[in-house]
Each structure stands twice: as C-alpha cells, then as structure tokens.
Structure 1
Amino acid sequence: MNIFITAFLLAFIYDIASVGSIKTNYIRHHLGSRTPYRFIANKNDTRIKYPNCKDSKIYMVTRHGTRLPSRKDIAAVPQLVKLKYEILLQHEQGKGQLTDEQLNSFKDWKTSFNTEEESYLTLEGRDEMILLAERMQKRFPNAIKQRYSNKTFLFRYTATQRAQQSARYFTNGLFEKKETQDIIFAPATKVDPVLRFYKHCDRWLTQVKRNPETYKETKLFSNSHDMNKTLESISHKLGLNRVLEFDTVNLMYKYCGYETSWDKHHISPWCYAFDERSIQMFEYYHDLRAYWLDGYGHELTYRQACLLMKNMFEYFGKERGYRSVFLFSHSGAVLKILTHLKLFKPPSPLKGDQIVKDREWRLSEIDSFAANLAFVLFKCKDGDHVLTLHQEKIIKLPMCEQELCPLEHLKEYFHESLSNCDYTDMCSLDSNVTKSKEEKTSL
C-alpha cells in the first residue's frame, strides 16, 4: 500500500510542477492549439488486438510538434517586454494581485527570437515525436515493423521546417540510429493537395479564409460585454491603471501556451494574468475562430479533406506497396479531416453571443501540438476492417456501429464525397464549374 501511495504522490507532485503550482493547475486544460501533447497523450502503449484479426497497415496524419512562435507573434514581443515592466512597477506601488513568486517569475522573464527561426520545432516537439512513434509501434507491431524498408514505409511532410523535423524525429522513435540515416523522405512540394490541400485552394481562400463573414462570430465575441469585463478583470489583477486591449491580452494568452509547452517544469508568467474563467474566455475565442475557419462553418472547408481520405483508401486498397504511411502536416489539415469525419460536431453552430461550455469542439483536446489521427487496417476472417485512433485513443466513427469498422462500409459511406473529389473543380473560382459540385456533395 505504501508503495502505491508514494507513487501516487510523486505523480501528483510532478503533475503540479509541470505547470507551476496547484493554484494554476487549471491552465493546462485551456491552452487551445498551443497545448503540449504531454498533457493529453495516451501513455498506455499496450498492443491493440482483436480476435481473428491482424493489424496490417497504418495511415497516420500528425500535426507537427511544439514549435516556436510565428513571425507575427515574435514581432510583438516588445509589447510584452514593455508590459512586464509596467506590471512590476505597479506592484511596487502596492497595486495588483500577483504573489511574490509570480512577480519573481516576471522579473526573470526574458525572451529573444531570431525571426529566421519562426515556427521552428522545439526540443519538446522532438520529444513528442519520438515518444509518439515508440508508442504507436508497440501498439501495432505488424503494421509498423521495427526494420526500415523504403518499399513498405512512406514518410511525407510539408515544405516547412517544423513538419520536416517532426518527420525526422518520428523516425528516430521507430528505428535504430544507424537505420535512420538511410530513410528516404518523399520530396516536399510547395503545392501539396494531400497534406495541405487548403493552402492553395483559391476558392476556399477567397470564400472562406479572406471572407470577413467567416470572422463575424469571433468579432462579436471579442467585442462582447463579457469579454470587456474579462479585460477589465485581467488588467485589475495585474495592477494596471488602464484596461488592456483585446489583442494585447490575446498575445499574453498565446505566450502562456507557447512557453508552458516548451518547458516541462515551469509555467509561463503570462499565465498568471488569467484565472479559470478568463482563460476559458480566450480558449473559446480560439475554438470559435477555428470552428468557422477550419471546421463546420463552411462546407467547402471540410469537403477538401476528401483528398486526404481518398489517398488513404487508395493505400488500403493495394495488395502490395506501403504498409506504413506517415504524413506530417498542420492544424488546418487535422481539423478539416476531423470535420470531414463528423467528429466533435456541436449540436448547433458555435456562436459569439455566449460560451458553449460543454462543447466537444475544444482545441485544447482535439488540436494540441502533435495532434494525430491514425487509421489502422486490420485483416480479419470476415474481411478488412479499419480502426481509428485520435490522439492515440480508439474512437468510434459516427458512421460506424463499432470501433472496428468494415472497410467496405466506410468506402460506401464516403463514395459520394470521394467520387466528387476533384481538386481543380473544388478550388476553381469559376462558379459555373464548382456550383453543381457543391450542390451534389454534402456531408
């Protein structure tokens, strides 16, 4: 009994240390797409087996690991440096609600980035990839062999440093060091209709991403009475004589996520600005934005993911060729394919008039750094079946009766969307070409 109690206490202490103190432990649940994968990873790597079945192939899409900030966020660092000194000065005058420990964290805080390293993979991102690969191989040893062969393994990544390095460190988790030197990676291309199908889809860029209507609900939320009260509360907690603007606090929220992700043992001082309610406000803002930009807000957004689904079915349908396909992409691709599969769909569209607290569409859980979706083909006595895992956890697809879903059933269900899955037609700005396609294709 004492051994179990000791183990529990050690785990509990480490859990607290990993995000600062027990008073800020809620932070880890609300970091949105900047959530480190270690907070949600499924550490149980026991082999997954089904009676009269054998894992045969795997097709896995993984978001890159924890990264450095974007160029835009790096350029905004001087704002935070100036704000840091303002907070410290106000507390010296007896204003604000930060503790001595929190103030010391602000005093020690400094950061400098080379803009040429924007969005680069971090050390934490490397660890995420290595450990993810090791666990997946243990679960499916037949589909993911321990010996590398360029005839059975395919590794693809987008033309970005973070995706390329994620792929390389993933292979470090699969194979011996001497083998990783011989791995052949598929050439990255600027235009990639499988891994980043939305990036050069002119119609989607025009009608969704650059369309002001896409951001109507997020704008409504960021200007709402509740958000204004939140900004006042945060500013008061920091001891400021003014109310911070939304963009400034949003930047603080981003760095709270970035810096907490990079460091396993410390929480970013910018997290101290938030209490449980205020951080949920900013979490919802980003969930809302992703819902309308990358999720269920527009049909064309998730229709595009048919390109990736089509690719998966093609690999599963071949008797010979690759057994293990690993693709390294981005948040936008992962969210769109999750939506194409009808996963994490709210009962009604997310709106900006109030927070939907019990929503399934929560980036902190579904779109963390290193977020992943895996399809595993099982050869069974009664035919081929597909097992789906999200964040390494087995999930039942909405269109399937069981977790292990017949391959033919999935093909039949997605037949219409796949038969109307032409990149040129979907992404052309010629309305005469695309209108009929959109009317036919509906999920």
Structure 2
Amino acid sequence: MGFKLYIIIVAVLIIFHDAGSESISDDIRNHLGSKTPYRFKYLKDDSKIKFPGCESTKMWMIIRHGSRLPSDEDIAGMNTTLKELSQQILSGHKVGKGQLTEEQLSRFANWSSSIDITKEKDLVDEGRDEMTQLAKRMYKRFPSIIKSKYNSDTFEFRATPTERAEESAKSFAIGLFDKNAPTVIIRKTSKGDPVLRFYKHCDNWQKQVKKNPNTYAEQKKLGNSLLMNQTLEKITQKLGLDNTIDLAEADLMYKACAFETAWWKDYVAPWCFAFDKDTIKVLEYYHDLKHYLMDGYGNELTSQTACEAVKNMFEHLTSKSGPNASFLFAHSGTMLKILTHMGLYKPESPLTGDFIPHESVWRLSEIDCFAANLAFVLFECKDGDHILTLHQERVVKLPACEKELCPLEHLKRVFHDTIHNCDHAAICKYNSSNDEL
C-alpha cells in the first residue's frame, strides 16, 4: 500500500515549492540528524571505480533502510501536540506575536497531521526511491561485481524482520534487476541476528549501555544547560507562543521538520521555520551526543558488539566461494556500531554536554542519514588483494590504513581479534558484576 494512501498531511496537497516561494536553507536541511534525507548526502558521480592493475571482484554492503514514518510515540505527538501548537502560533500572530513571515504562517495554516499510527516506522515512497537509485548507481560503479542478471548463487540479500528493511531490500532489487526483482530471494533474519541486529538481544549491552541512566549523563547535562534554555526561549519567541516550550516539544518540532523534509522532495515543512542556523545545531548535537554515548565511542562494549558483522564481512570477501555481492539491510544502530568498530568518525576528544564543538566528525546528519550505507569492495591486484571502503558512496580511508585502497593482509592483522576471537554470546552475556557503580 502506497505511503500517500495512509498519511494525510493537508499542506502537501496544496503547497509546493516553486522558484518564488519560501524554502529550507542549507543551514537547516544539513542539520536534520538521522532523519536527513539521502538526496542531500549521496555522491552524485556514479562513474566506474577502478584502479590500475586491479579488478573489483566481491562486495559486502550494509545499508540502513530508507526514509520512513515516525515511531508511534512521535506520530502521537505530531497528531496532537504539534496540532495544538500550530493553532497557538496562528492565534499569536493575529495579535502581533512571533517573527514568522506571512508565507511561513500560511504554511502553518495549511498544515495538519493525521498519520495512521498502525503504520509506524513503515517505509515511505521516498525511501523506496532512495534504495532503487542507490542500487542503480552501485551497479554503474562496479559492473564487474554487480551483474545485470539475478542469480541466487551470485547475490545475497538479507534483511531484518521489519517492514522498512524488507521493503528497502525489495526496492534495491528493483534498481538492480527491474522486472526480474520479484524473483530475488530476500532472507529474513531473526530479531537478534548477530550480524544485522547484534545489539537487539544483547543483554550485556542493553543493561550496561542502552538502559543504563549513566550512559546519558552528558546528554542530560546538555538538556538542562543554559544554552538549551536559551535555545528553547529563542524558538518560543520566533513562533510567538505565550509559554516557553519544553525540550520534548522542541524535539517534536525538530523531528517533524526532518521527517516531512525527507518524505517529499518539493515540500517545505513548516516546522523547519521554528529554527535558525544556531538553534537547529543545538537540537542536532543533542541527538549526536545521545548516539555517540549509546551507539558510538561512549562505551567500549558498544564497538565489541559489532564484531560478528565485521567478521562476516571479512569471511565474505576472503571466501573463494559464495556470492559475489552481499547486500544487508538493517538500521541506524547497526550502522553506527559498525562505523565505530572500524574506527571511523572518532572525535579527537570525547563529546560532552558542556559545549558544542564547532566542527565534529561525529554528525548523524552526515554519517547516519536515511539510507546510509557502508560498502567494502575486494580488488584483486597484481601486488595482492586490497579492500576499498565506501561510505555514503564516497571512498573513505580507514584509520588503520595508509591509503584508501588498503592491503587485505594488513586489515586482517589489524582486525585479527575480530576475525578469530569474536564470541558474540560471551560479549552479550550479562554479569551483574559488570554494572557501573
């Protein structure tokens, strides 16, 4: 069932972006965190990637699902809290409050949200398109690996047992095989699959990290800071509201801005007008900090949980048999933990709630947007096998390597423990003595 059949946002039916209308600036759209649409981030150059004396032969690619609907909690907030606030914004304007333009106010006047809560987190049409177009570009870059004809011996498709991951896999298959896509076998994994969702039923990580209040101490510090209070007051004044909004309301606005920007290419989401180039960065960092602490470098255990996924990558690329290309469809939590295990995007100093760094390599808007992807490609060269890494379709140099095209034997030495000593069951076995005091 198509996205537009079960979600009604009245504004999109009557307001479209045109050359003379209000638009969302780069100051806003480049700071939408993990809900950032992929069309703002991917590499437009899809020419064949090649190196002299080398041939690409195998690929392992982990892909976050495409743009989706919000969680049930956020849907409820958009359908109620934001509806009420939008009416207060319009009422305040009538008595001269707020800093919004007439056109911005007209967008609020025509905005409504009636998302079917039973469709929470389902993939939307834009998410399908993100997957289809990504597949087409990857085919052009690596035609020697990604053949145009499907064969279950040549291609492996795996997805977590969620609608958004499975539908992403199907849409990716359409990009590769067009009318033959329905013949593609997509293997559904278990909820706690050690490769695709290794953290979901990892008791040790769940209790020591995700459900441990101490994990979020720095984020809580930011949430209670003078900077956050000033941010909330500034948003309140811009919207012309009588009472200062709280962090939960500001967060709902931030998510609505991001989701609605992601869903439609030509729609200007009115909630984006709540922010300016400074306040949007505070909300962005609030989420960056959370996932740095929970899914990134905040706890060493987090990186360890990803060892089975990275081990699977090495096994796939070094095997003389099996499929040429392995496409795995998963989630934000999967992507961030694998990036961390590979040592990518590690800040020079730990992120804290005391201040927002001017420049940070750990930004969800850049590294974990919708449809984020990480590919490892095996090149057989005259001087031995090498691995090329691509993130968001861009070639990146792994911290463990001197060059972008990295010798396989070197990587195998660096990740020796991952390849030979990864014991997911042992890592995830909870021991109360491990609890932080």
In structure 2, what is the Cα distance between the partners aligned to 1:208 and 1:124?
33
Other-structure match for 1:132: 134
Other-structure match for 2:330: 329
In structure 2, what is the Cα distance between the partners aligned to 1:213 and 1:245?
22
Partner-residue secondary structure (3-state), 1:176? helix
List structure 1 segments (4+ residues) > 6 angstroms apart after TM superposition: none
C-alpha displacement of 1:183: 1.0
Other-structure match for 2:368: 367
Distance 1:234 1:314, change over 3 A: same
Does the CA-based 8 Å contact 2:24-2:268 persist in structure 1?
A: no
- TM-score norm. by structure 2 comes to 0.93
User: What aligned pairs does 1:244-283 form with structure 2 within 5 A after superposition?
Assistant: 244-283=245-284
Does the CA-based 8 Å contact 2:307-2:424 persist in structure 1?
A: no
In structure 1, what is the Cα distance between the partners aligned to 2:101 and 2:139?
45
Other-structure match for 1:117: 119
Distance 1:375 1:23, change over 3 A: closer
1:164 to 152, 163, 166: 166
Distance 1:117 1:279, change over 3 A: same
Partner-residue secondary structure (3-state), 2:43? coil
In structure 1, what is the Cα distance between the partners aligned to 2:333 and 2:49?
29
Partner-residue secondary structure (3-state), 1:54? strand
Say if 2:77 is the partner of 1:81: no
Partner-residue secondary structure (3-state), 1:181? helix
C-alpha displacement of 1:21: 3.6
Other-structure match for 1:148: 150
Give, as a single letter, the amino acid of the residue that structure 2 aligns with 1:248: E
Does the CA-based 8 Å contact 1:231-1:249 persist in structure 2?
A: yes
C-alpha displacement of 1:50: 0.5
Does the CA-based 8 Å contact 2:22-2:104 persist in structure 1?
A: no
Does the CA-based 8 Å contact 2:60-2:376 persist in structure 1?
A: yes
Distance 1:139 1:87, change over 3 A: same
Does the CA-based 8 Å contact 1:20-1:265 persist in structure 2?
A: no
Unpaired segments ≥5 residues, structure 2: 1-16
Distance 1:196 1:20, change over 3 A: farther
RMSD: 1.6
Partner-residue secondary structure (3-state), 2:374? strand
Other-structure match for 2:103: 101
Give, as a single letter, the amino acid of the residue that structure 1 aligns with 2:308: L
Other-structure match for 2:223: 222
User: What aligned pairs does 1:5-404 form with structure 2 within 5 A after superposition?
Assistant: 21=22, 24-77=25-78, 78-177=80-179, 179-404=180-405
In structure 2, what is the Cα distance between the partners aligned to 1:190 and 1:284?
30
Unpaired segments ≥5 residues, structure 1: 1-15, 436-443
Distance 1:20 1:308, change over 3 A: farther
Give, as a single letter, the amino acid of the residue that structure 2 aligns with 1:163: A
In structure 2, what is the Cα distance between the partners aligned to 1:373 and 1:20?
36
Does the CA-based 8 Å contact 1:19-1:266 persist in structure 2?
A: no
Give, as a single letter, the amino acid of the residue that structure 2 aligns with 1:197: F
Does the CA-based 8 Å contact 2:23-2:268 persist in structure 1?
A: no
In structure 2, what is the Cα distance between the partners aligned to 1:267 and 1:389?
31
C-alpha displacement of 1:180: 1.1
In structure 2, what is the Cα distance between the partners aligned to 1:152 and 1:23?
43
Partner-residue secondary structure (3-state), 2:188? coil
CA offset digits 1:234-286 (Å, max 9, x no partner) = 10111112100110011100110000111101221001010110000000000
C-alpha displacement of 1:210: 0.4
Other-structure match for 1:12: none
In structure 1, what is the Cα distance between the partners aligned to 2:173 and 2:76?
33
Other-structure match for 1:424: 425
Distance 1:338 1:20, change over 3 A: farther
Partner-residue secondary structure (3-state), 1:398? coil
Does the CA-based 8 Å contact 1:17-1:266 persist in structure 2?
A: no
Does the CA-based 8 Å contact 1:19-1:265 persist in structure 2?
A: no
CA offset digits 1:357-397 (Å, max 9, x no partner) = 20100110000000000000011111111100000000010
Distance 1:251 1:150, change over 3 A: same
Does the CA-based 8 Å contact 1:214-1:293 persist in structure 2?
A: yes
C-alpha displacement of 1:306: 1.0
Give, as a single letter, the amino acid of the residue that structure 2 aligns with 1:396: K
* Percent identity over paired residues: 54
Other-structure match for 1:440: none
C-alpha displacement of 1:25: 3.4
Does the CA-based 8 Å contact 2:308-2:418 persist in structure 1?
A: no
Give, as a single letter, the amino acid of the residue that structure 2 aligns with 1:152: T
Does the CA-based 8 Å contact 2:379-2:385 persist in structure 1?
A: yes
Distance 1:18 1:234, change over 3 A: farther
C-alpha displacement of 1:115: 1.4
Other-structure match for 2:14: none
Does the CA-based 8 Å contact 2:98-2:239 persist in structure 1?
A: yes
CA offset digits 1:27-73 (Å, max 9, x no partner) = 11100001000001111100000011111001000000000011110
In structure 2, what is the Cα distance between the partners aligned to 1:216 and 1:38?
34
Partner-residue secondary structure (3-state), 1:60? strand
Partner-residue secondary structure (3-state), 2:398? coil
Distance 1:36 1:19, change over 3 A: farther
In structure 2, what is the Cα distance between the partners aligned to 1:159 and 1:23?
35
Distance 1:35 1:98, change over 3 A: same
In structure 2, what is the Cα distance between the partners aligned to 1:20 and 1:401?
48
Give, as a single letter, the amino acid of the residue that structure 2 aligns with 1:214: T
Distance 1:393 1:23, change over 3 A: closer
C-alpha displacement of 1:419: 2.7
CA offset digits 1:316-353 (Å, max 9, x no partner) = 12111110000000000100011111111111110001
C-alpha displacement of 1:422: 0.6
Does the CA-based 8 Å contact 1:19-1:267 persist in structure 2?
A: no
